[in-house]
C-alpha cells in the first residue's frame, strides 16, 4: 500500500471515510429526546452532551494540531479509536441509565463519552486529512478541502434515515443498541481511512523549527490583526449558523410545515454540504479567497433582513411567499455555514503557507469550540425569554422569539462583513 500514489486513493477517499463518520455528531437531534426519555432526564440536561462534543472538537484540534502536522497516521488512529470508543461508551451509559433511571452517573458518563472522548476524535479526525488533500490538489485546494468537509456536512443527511430506521426496528433498548452498531461501523470506516491516508511522496515536511520559528512567528509574518479578523469572522459565522440551525425544526413547524420537517432537514443538510464544496471550489477561481466570505456574509445579511422586516416567521403560516422566503433563509444560512468551514484552511494557507497549516488550522478551530457553547445557547435564551409560546397546528411554538433571534444574527453578520472588509489583509494565491 505504501507504493500507491494516487490523489483519490490516498487523499479524497480516506478524507471522506473519516469525515462522513465524524460528521454524524450533527445527528444528535435525531435521538436526543429518546436518550432523555430512556435515562430519565430532561432534554435540556442531555443537550449539553452535544455542546461539549463541539467544544472539545475545537479544543482538541487546537491542542493536537502539532501532532497532526508531524504524523497524520498517529492522529488519524487516535481519531478512530477515540471516536468509536466514545460512541460505544455513550451506548453503555445510556444502557446504564435505562436500568437506573435518573442516575447522575449515567448523565455524566454520556457527557464524558459523547462530549470529551468523541470530541477528541472529532477534532483530530477533522484535521487529519485536510493538509493532505491540499498537498494532493495543489491547484484546486478549495475543491479538495470542500470535498472533505462536504462529507462532514453530508453525514447528517446520509446517516439520519439509517439511525431512524435502527431506532424503529431494534425494539426495546434500541437507542443504546444503535450506538453499539454505529461504533463498530464507524471504527471500520475510519480505520480504512487511516490506513489509506498518506501525503504525496514528493512532499517533505519542513525541518524542525528553531526557537522563535513557531506558530506565533508564522502568524507574525502578516499583521496579527489579519489573523484575529479571520478567527473572529469564522467564530461569528458559526455562532450565527448554529443559532438558526438549532431552531430550524421549530421555525419550520411555526410556518405550518410540521409534516415536512424531515424532508426540509435533509434538504438543509444538502445545502450545508453543497456550500462546503461549492463555495470553496468557487474561491479557487478568485484572486483573493477572502472574497468568498464577503459573499457569504452579504447573502446571509440580505436574506436575514428580508425575513426580519417581513416578519416571515410570525406571518408565514398560510402565506406561500413568506414560506419560500423563510426556507430560502434556512438554506442560505446552511450553505454559508458550511462554506465558512471549507474555506478557512485554504484562506490560512494563502496567508501563511503550507508548512504549519495543520497547527494554524487547529488553533483557528478553537473558534468552533466557543461558538458551539454560544450559538445554541444564545438562541435558546432569546426564545425562552422573549415572546410567548402559542399553539400552531397543534404544535407549541414561539414566533416572536424566533424572529428576535434574527435581530441578533443580523447584527453579527454585519460585524463579520466589516471584519472581512477592513481587518483581513487581501492576499493573492
Range(s) for CATH 1.20.1250.20 in the chain? 7-200, 209-429
C-alpha cell at 404: 428576535
For the stretch 250-307, pLDDT in tens is 999 999 998 888 889 889 888 998 999 899 989 988 989 999 999 999 999 999 999 9
pTM: 0.86
What phi and psi, each to the nearest 5 degrees, are found at residue 124? Answer: -70, -35
Residues 405/307, Cβ–Cβ less than 8 Å: no
pLDDT, mean of residues 93-119: 96
**209-429: what fold?**
Growth Hormone; Chain: A; (1.20.1250)
Q: Quick check: 253 and 397 in contact, CB under 8 A?
A: yes
pLDDT digits 0-9 by tens, 179-208: 999 999 999 999 999 999 988 877 766 654
Judged by phi (left if over 0) then psi (alpha if -120 to 50, else beta), residue 256 lies in left
Distance CA 60, CA 25 (A): 15
Backbone dihedral region for residue 317 (phi beyond 0: left; psi -120 to 50: alpha; all else: beta): beta
For 41-60, write each residue's pLDDT tens digit: 988 899 889 889 999 999 99
Q: Which class does domain 7-200 fall in?
A: mainly alpha
Amino acid at each position: 500500500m505504501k507504493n500507491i500514489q494516487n490523489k483519490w486513493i490516498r487523499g479524497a477517499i480516506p478524507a471522506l471515510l473519516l469525515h462522513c463518520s465524524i460528521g454524524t455528531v450533527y445527528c444528535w437531534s435525531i435521538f436526543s429526546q429518546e436518550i432523555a426519555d430512556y435515562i430519565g432526564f430532561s432534554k435540556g440536561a442531555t443537550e449539553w452532551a452535544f455542546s461539549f462534543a463541539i467544544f472539545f472538537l475545537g479544543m482538541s484540534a487546537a491542542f493536537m494540531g502539532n501532532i497532526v502536522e508531524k504524523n497524520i497516521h498517529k492522529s488519524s488512529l487516535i481519531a478512530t479509536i477515540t471516536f468509536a470508543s466514545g460512541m460505544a461508551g455513550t451506548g453503555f451509559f445510556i444502557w446504564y441509565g435505562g436500568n437506573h433511571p435518573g442516575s447522575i452517573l449515567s448523565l455524566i458518563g454520556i457527557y464524558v463519552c459523547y462530549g470529551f472522548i468523541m470530541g477528541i476524535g472529532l477534532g483530530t479526525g477533522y484535521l487529519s486529512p485536510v493538509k493532505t488533500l491540499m498537498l494532493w490538489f495543489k491547484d484546486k485546494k478549495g475543491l479538495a478541502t470542500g470535498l472533505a468537509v462536504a462529507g462532514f456536512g453530508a453525514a447528517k443527511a446520509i446517516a439520519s434515515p439509517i439511525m431512524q430506521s435502527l431506532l424503529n426496528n431494534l425494539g426495546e433498548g434500541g437507542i443504546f443498541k444503535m450506538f453499539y452498531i454505529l461504533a463498530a461501523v464507524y471504527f471500520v470506516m475510519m480505520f480504512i481511512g487511516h490506513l489509506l491516508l498518506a501525503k504525496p511522496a514528493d512532499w517533505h515536511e519542513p525541518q524542525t523549527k528553531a526557537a522563535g520559528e513557531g506558530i506565533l512567528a508564522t502568524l507574525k509574518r502578516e499583521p496579527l490583526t489579519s489573523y484575529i479578523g479571520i478567527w473572529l469572522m469564522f467564530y461569528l459565522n458559526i455562532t450565527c449558523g448554529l443559532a438558526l440551525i438549532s431552531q430550524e425544526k421549530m421555525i419550520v413547524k411555526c410556518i405550518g410545515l410540521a409534516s415536512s420537517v424531515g424532508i426540509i432537514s435533509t434538504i438543509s443538510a444538502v445545502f450545508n454540504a453543497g456550500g462546503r464544496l461549492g463555495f470553496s471550489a468557487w474561491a479557487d477561481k478568485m484572486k483573493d479567497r477572502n472574497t468568498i466570505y464577503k459573499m457569504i456574509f452579504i447573502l446571509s445579511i440580505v436574506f436575514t433582513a428580508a425575513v426580519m422586516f417581513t416578519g416571515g416567521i410570525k406571518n408565514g403560516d398560510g402565506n406561500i411567499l413568506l414560506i419560500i422566503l423563510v426556507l430560502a433563509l434556512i438554506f442560505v444560512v446552511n450553505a454559508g455555514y458550511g462554506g465558512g468551514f471549507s474555506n478557512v484552511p485554504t484562506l490560512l494557507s494563502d496567508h501563511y503557507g503550507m508548512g504549519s497549516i495543520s497547527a494554524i488550522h487547529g488553533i483557528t478551530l478553537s473558534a468552533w469550540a466557543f461558538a458551539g457553547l454560544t450559538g445554541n445557547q444564545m438562541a435558546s435564551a432569546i426564545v425562552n425569554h422573549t415572546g410567548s409560546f402559542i399553539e400552531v397546528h397543534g404544535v407549541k411554538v414561539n414566533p416572536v422569539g424566533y424572529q428576535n433571534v434574527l435581530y441578533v444574527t443580523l447584527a453579527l453578520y454585519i460585524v463579520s462583513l466589516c471584519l472581512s472588509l477592513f481587518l483581513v489583509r487581501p492576499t493573492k494565491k
